[in-house]
Structure formats: structure tokens, C-alpha cells
Structure 1
């Protein structure tokens, strides 16, 4: 295990203004809000907002070697090496969102589920367009990766939920897999917990403050962040077009998960007494009222989907304009 080269440290933490870090904080807020909704991934939001590569690169540098560097070079250089300001701003936004703004998203999900899912679908659809445009080339391998990515997400979304016991090592694996799902665009960590039956176990651990279980879960999350982020970044650096094709497939498949018109087949209750869908089916909006008894609000859903599309395209256009202005 070697410590980082001090000559490279300055390259890892870009010079940013307070406004830049406030924008990163805002992106973290959006990621946290997405993570609480089963079916929507914080990794998707990171992809959409253009911080995905920097996020993975910063996580990759958080290794045990950093402890040796801390002893050798001090806290300032170590902080610069791991891009600490970026990580604090981003995870600060995620944590703030999980505690505050996420409640608004969940309230909107309860009151206007179709419109919220339509908005998320618009975000995902626009990000697919931008990523396809950024793809360097499409060969046979890329198309195979795309199809496999779509099929993988569809298989997960239609999988019947299981029920696993809440043993420590199982919670560790659950945290590991859930956080890896959060990193990947198109896969929701909370949805994975629902599938394996650990969602109610985790909620009960929070509700009753079962510290042992929470520590096991947290250890799995930290391990997953460090290990899987390095593997995914290696894939992006070594097999960029193929990996990007698979990630685009993940996003295309996630459109099935974010489809606005849903009907719950199997539900449970969380620690606050709210009904949580474990398994759902997508409905034709024209048949939605006949099955659920609720209005499909098709026109409003289209409007909110377009808002999502315009938001992503607008952010991309603004980023390109700023880049050209500063060039």
C-alpha cells in the first residue's frame, strides 16, 4: 500500500468559488431526494447533473492509503487529494435532503404520484438523449451491452420481493448492494432493499434505534462506496464506450420503473404507517381509471415530463455556454 504522490495532489481538488460549492450542494439535495424514491437512483441524478465522473474519482481516492498520507503530509494536503470540499458539499446535500427535502418528495409522491413519476421520467428520457449523443461510437459490443443493461433493469423491476432475516452479515451485504445500486444510474438502492425484503428490517432498525443493525448496514455502505466506485471508474476509463452503453441501457430500462401510471400488487407499511408498494404493474393511462378509480391526469403528466426534459436540456445548455464563455 503506497501513499499518493504529493505532486498530483493539486490536480484532485479544482479551484471553486462558494457559488460552485452551493451548486454541488444543490445537486446533492437532488440526489438525496431521488434516493428515497424506490425506482429512482441518486446515481441517475449525478449522471444528469454532470458530476458522475468526479464523484467516482473522489470516492476512489478514499482508501486506507489516505491514512498514511494524513500522517506524512498533514490534513490539508490529504483533504485536497481526496477532493474533500466536493465530497462534503455533495454528501452534505444528500444528508440534508434525506432529513428535510425528502419529506417533501414523499409528500408529493403520496399526493401527486403520477406527476412526480412523470417528472422523473422526463429527467431520465432527456439524460438518455444526452448520453446517446455523447457516445463515441456504436458497435456490436456496445449494442449488446445496451440490450443487457435494459434487460437487467427490467428483470430487477419485475422480480418478486423476497424476505431475508435481519442478521448482521446480511445487513452488511444489503448495505453493500444498496449503495452500489445508488452509484449505478437507473437502479435504486431502496428498491433493491424492497426486493430482498430488507426494507422493513432497516426501517424498524431506524425506528427502534437498533444501533448494532445500523452499524452493520452502514459498514456495508462504506465498503460498497470504496470498492465498487473504484471498479466502476476502472470500467469507464478502460472500456468507456462499452460501459456507457450499458449505463444507457440501465436508464432506458428504468423508464419502466418510472412509468407514471402504476397499480400496486403487493404493499407493506413503513415505520410511520405509510403504505409502501413492494410490487407494481404498469398500466395503460387510458385504462388507469378503470383499474384504480383515480384520474390519469394525462395532460398534466405530459407537462411535467416536459418540465423534466427541459430542466436537463437547460442545465446542459447552460453548462456548455459557461464552458465556452470561460474558454
Structure 2
């Protein structure tokens, strides 16, 4: 139990850092497939309980979904994640507010290095189709991050729920950061603030949106990754590239600005972010190699663990 709580703390800590994927860390510490399967069962159980309760059909079907959840793993991991998010948010929020240029530079480095994940997961040589959808994704990402952001102090609650629903989908693919999705649509800072201020209304709506996202979108994404894997991952790559606009270090409410006199430290921070994610990816690669070696030694097939997790 303590080990799983420690795993959850690692996942929760990186989950609030844009560019570092909690899914990647979950894969590294060995709980990725369990969490994804359990989260899907939990979301389906809640949805089934609501639907069958209204229709007077009882809760037998919902109970079957709840029984499929690995509670012995999910609960301690969840507690560890919650504690880590609370602690890390309290540390990060004042830093981001005091040093916006430096924060965006570091986050940009994290995202740039993370691009290797969906690029690598496409598998094999990219074809014209993959390049085409990646370009379209980059254009869409740039356009979305060019839209006026919501009020950073009081975002509408429907926007909060929608942002949470999409951000939770990042759990499906290791390497894709949910925090980065929040950052790209201007919801990262208000979400951190809500955690630090214990804004229960905001957090309740956020959790509700995340549950809806798990129930509706994650299954669709899993299907797309199984049946349209190359196109889906190429699209994700393009979206991440286009969304880097949100992390241009020098910008204000009027738009993007030219680099200032702090060019050298900004470049160093970008390189630091690239190095940090590169280190995480190297550890992940080592874990995957060991897992493949164990499967081969046992006489079993050795598929890509990421493919199994996403299927």
C-alpha cells in the first residue's frame, strides 16, 4: 500500500508540470494499465448507476463495473496523487506568477522534448498522410492557442468541465501532458489557484468534467489508437507543435513579443526542460527493454507495452 502511494505521489507531482506526462511515469512505475482499465470501469460504473437508477433497474450492472476496479491499487495511488498535487501546486503557483517568462521557457523545453514520444509511437517511416495530418494538427493547435483566453480569475464553470474532460484524455497516451492541454487553453493557472485556495465548487466541476471525459472520450481515443493509430499519433504530434505558441516566453495580453535582454537565461531554461524530459524518456526506455526481455525469456510474445496499454 505504501509503495503504491509512493507511485501515486510521483505521478501526481509530474502531472501538474506541463510537458511531463503522468501517463509516462505511471508506465515507468508499472501501474499504467491498471489505472487506465480501472478508471474506465469506474466511469462506466458511475454512468450506469445514474442511468439504471433513474430507470429503476437497480445497480447490478453498475456493481459489475465497480467490481472490475482494482481498488487495492487505485485507492493508495489516488491518495498519493492527491497529496502530491496539493504540495506541488502550492510550490509551483507562486513561481509561475512571479516568473512567467522563465516558466514558459522551461515548459517549452519540456514540450519540445516530449514530441519524440508520439513521433516514435507512430512506428516506422512517416508517410505523406502522416505529414499531412501533422501539419493540419499544427495549424489547429496554433489557431486554438491564438484564441483569447478565458478570464484567468473566474473562468465559466462549463469551460472548466470541458477543459477537464479533454485534459483527462491525455492519460491514454504516455508522453502527452494533461497539464499542457490546460496551459494551452488558458486553464492551467486558474486550476492551480483553485487547488491552492481549496475552491470546492471549481474542483467539483473539474472532477465531474474529468469523469465525463473518461466515460465518453477515453474509450473513443483507445479505439482510434487501436484502429487509426498512425493518423491519431501524427495528429497529436501536430497539435503539440502548434500549441507551442502558448509557451513563447515573451508575450503579454496584446500578443507575442520579440525576445528581450534575457535571451541567454531563457535559452538555458529551454535546454533544461529538454534535458529533464530526455532523462525521463531514457528511464522509460530502459523499463520497456527490461519488460520485453522478461517476456522473451518467458517464451511469450513481446508487444510494445504502450500498444497494449492504449488498446
Bin of the TM-score, shorter chain as denominator length: 0.5 to 0.7
| Aligned equivalents of 2:199, 2:226: Cα separation in 1 | 41
Alignment map for 1:220-235 (pairs within 5 Å) = 220-235=209-224
Look up the match of 2:273.
305
Residues 128 and 248, structure 1, Cα contact 8 Å, conserved in 2 = yes
**Cα drift, residue 154 of structure 1:** 1.0
**Cα drift, residue 26 of structure 1:** 0.5
- Flag the structure with more relative contact order, 1 or 2, with Cα contacts below 8 A and sequence separation at least 6: 2
Look up the match of 2:13.
29
The number of residue pairs the alignment matches comes to 270
Which of the numbers 302, 312, 316 marks the counterpart of 2:284?
316
CA shift digits 1:247-281 (9 cap, x unpaired): 1222222333334x222226xxxxxxxxxxxxx52
Give the TM-score normalised by structure 2.
0.68
Which of the numbers 141, 144, 147 marks the counterpart of 2:129?
141
**Cα drift, residue 139 of structure 1:** 3.1
Look up the match of 1:121.
108
Look up the match of 1:272.
none
Residues 141 and 242, structure 1, Cα contact 8 Å, conserved in 2 = yes
Which of the numbers 96, 101, 108 marks the counterpart of 2:83?
96
Look up the match of 1:37.
none
SS at match of 2:147: coil
1:46 and 2:34 are equivalent in the alignment:
no
**Cα drift, residue 23 of structure 1:** 2.8
User: Which structure shows the higher helix fraction?
Assistant: 2
Residues 161 and 210, structure 2, Cα contact 8 Å, conserved in 1 = yes
Residues 4 and 73, structure 2, Cα contact 8 Å, conserved in 1 = no
Look up the match of 1:174.
160
Residues 139 and 242, structure 2, Cα contact 8 Å, conserved in 1 = yes
Alignment map for 1:190-205 (pairs within 5 Å) = 191-192=184-185, 194=187, 199=190
SS at match of 1:288: coil
**Cα drift, residue 310 of structure 1:** 3.2
Alignment map for 1:152-191 (pairs within 5 Å) = 152-161=140-149, 171-172=157-158, 174-184=160-170, 185=176, 187-189=180-182, 191=184
**Cα drift, residue 68 of structure 1:** 2.4
Look up the match of 1:288.
260
Give the TM-score normalised by structure 1.
0.65
| Aligned equivalents of 2:272, 2:234: Cα separation in 1 | 27
CA shift digits 1:205-233 (9 cap, x unpaired): 9969675x765554333222321222212
| Aligned equivalents of 1:282, 1:53: Cα separation in 2 | 43
Look up the match of 2:306.
none
Residues 105 and 267, structure 2, Cα contact 8 Å, conserved in 1 = no
| Aligned equivalents of 1:221, 1:324: Cα separation in 2 | 33
| Aligned equivalents of 1:48, 1:72: Cα separation in 2 | 29
Residues 150 and 253, structure 1, Cα contact 8 Å, conserved in 2 = yes
Look up the match of 2:250.
262
CA shift digits 1:281-322 (9 cap, x unpaired): 254xxx312xxxx56514632541343243233322331343
SS at match of 1:82: coil
- Structure 1 range deviating more: 297-306 or 97-106: 297-306
| Aligned equivalents of 1:240, 1:325: Cα separation in 2 | 25
1:251 and 2:240 are equivalent in the alignment:
yes
Structure 2, unaligned runs of 5 or more: 50-58, 171-175, 296-311
**Cα drift, residue 182 of structure 1:** 4.3
Output the aligned Cα RMSD.
4.0
